[in-house]
Amino acid sequence: MARLSRYLGQVLVLALVGIAVAVFSDTPAYTHLAADQAMVKLSLVHNAARVGACRRRTAEELAKLAPNMRKPLDCPRGRLPMVVEFEIDGVAVFSASAPPTGIAGDGPSRVYQRFVLPVGLHRLAVRMRDTARESGFDYEAEQVFNLRPRQNLVIDFKAEPGGLVFR
């Protein structure tokens, strides 16, 4: 009899836990964006140009190195920062110089920003510089979007198709 009451108690506790999980998995309802809003995410990860130019090693320099270290080019590890500007409807909303990651400053620069916008037509313009030039930009993209309710639009960088991509 004691065993039966223990088993019934365990079944009752497990049933209550299961009901609680089922209820809280669906409620309270969470809405990330209001019905009249859309989100634009600026998500860029890119290796900018190296700090300096690569140099070709001489035959004497290569002979002094261990066999596994004999690379013909000697390139600095460090990279330049990535400069990014973002405009929405002609208004600059974001401007940053993202430093390279990594201990030696040789990793990719990273930018991630989210912008909540009202639905409707918006002109989005992104500019990015990844070289040592003082002014101007290496990549530019501008498009007009009709943002739908709760839409997520991502601005990314892909070197293969030519740079900045809206998806």
What are 45-99's pLDDT values in tens digits?
999 999 989 999 999 999 999 999 999 999 899 999 999 999 999 999 999 999 9
**Torsion, CA 70, CA 51, CA 106, CA 96, rounded to 10:** -170
Quick check: bond before 28 cis, omega within 30?
yes
User: Does this model's pTM top 0.75?
Assistant: yes
Q: 29 pLDDT exceeds 90?
A: no
CA distance 58 to 65: 11
CA distance 72 to 159: 26
Domain ranges within the chain, ordered by starting residue: 1-30, 33-50+79-166
Q: Is CATH 3.30.230 correct for 33-50+79-166? A: no
